[in-house]
Amino acid sequence: MKSFNTRLAGRVECPGGGQVWVDGKYLYIAHMDSPLGTSVHDVSDPSSPKMLSTLVIPEGWHSHKVRVANDIMIVNHERTRKDAVDFGGGLGIYDVSNPSKPRELCKWRTVGSGVHRFTFDGRYAYISPTVDGYVGNIVMILDLKNPEKPEEVGRWWIPGQWEAGGEDYPWRGFPAPRCHHPIRKGDRLYVSYWHHGMFILDISDMSKPKLVSSRQTSPTFPHPTHTCLPIPFKLKGRDVMVVADEDVLKIRPAAPSFAWIYDITDETNPLSISTFQVPGLDPDGAPQPAMTGCHQPSDRLFAGESTLIPFAWFAQGLRVVDIKDPFAPREVAFYLPDPPQGQERVTSNDVTVDDRGLVYLVDRNGGVDIVELDIR
């Protein structure tokens, strides 16, 4: 273990996870591999977490994403094998007013592989499903006013994805379009779309999302766009968005992926103003193995107008980046755990924070580290 301006406050020993989320005093872990789907832990004392409940999922599927708000938990159902049992992709929706006994309210179903990542604000879910008649994953908004009967209120896709609508498909030989996940700020959705880049959508009318602007860095930069995180306050008088490229499925051998900062003050013309790479990780631009570089930032920020952004940086663990000066982001803390048993290196897959300022870092091969910052 290596650290700088951090200390370990606690740890959950568990199978690997794809995402973590904290609601109140409860930690929700979405696991990578069946049969374990989701586990719930009491972290009121972070030094002594207590498991409260688990959900399972059939072989050939996983449920590696989770969000909780207003006592409603949403988990994804995504197929991982072509020969999977007939379980069905979509979302599992649960009442977790008693986290020790999650109660299923419904399963929202879609065709194909299901739903990958999503966000949830307590009323609307902004999701990335595969849908009948479309190529790849698209943007969809679900209304969970009645969580037992979710209703689609809007969808959006890149022109060319709607195969059933007769749209010409222009990307043969290039990775298929894939909405990774949308993040809402006000009446905008900030959407990562894998190798097809990023999109800002106007959802003032949710039934008819409209394109505001887009940027695509691939294939010049060979990594897919994973997260588009709008910062909810101005920095140096500018509106800013943090964009993370994920260090997987590169379209050619390449150096590790990194994060971008965009000035979106003029949202019709997003402008890259800086980048951040873990110091020393890319000494010469030479290709390195996948899952060495960036994965994603926490899409929940610290309380107040904190400019500290926690990142899960795959083989580099937790990296905390201060973007107070968005033109010159700098690392101010890190926590690099020991590799899980049987692994040569860590694979830090997701990170989130709680109301106490604690940081939760999950490894896709095992364990959640609860980390406290010590930045003076």
State pTM to two decimals. 0.97
* pLDDT range class, residue 163, cuts 50, 70, 90: very high
Is the model's pLDDT at 376 over the cut of 80? no
Q: Is 160 left (phi over 0), alpha (psi -120 to 50) or beta?
A: left
Decide: 21 and 67 in contact? Cβ < 8 Å.
yes
Is the model's pLDDT at 193 over the cut of 80? yes
CATH number of 2-373: 2.130.10.10
pLDDT at 2: 97
* pLDDT range class, residue 375, cuts 50, 70, 90: confident
Average pLDDT over residues 349-371: 98
- What is the rounded average pLDDT for all residues in the chain? 97
Q: Which ranges constitute the DSSP H helices of the chain?
A: none
Instruction: Find where tokens 């979405």 sit.
Output: 30
pLDDT at 165: 97
Average pLDDT over residues 280-306: 96
Spatial CB neighbours of 285, under 8 Å, sequence gap ≥ 6: 255
Q: How far apart are CA 221 and CA 140, in angstroms?
A: 27
Peptide bond into 219 cis (omega under 30): yes
Decide: 41 and 12 in contact? Cβ < 8 Å.
yes
Q: What is the DSSP letter of 163?
A: G
Instruction: Quick: pLDDT tens for 232-269.
Output: 999 999 999 999 999 999 999 999 999 999 999 999 99
Cα dihedral sign for 79, 290, 13, 3?
Answer: negative
Q: How far apart are CA 369 and CA 362, in angstroms?
A: 6
Decide: 206 and 188 in contact? Cβ < 8 Å.
no
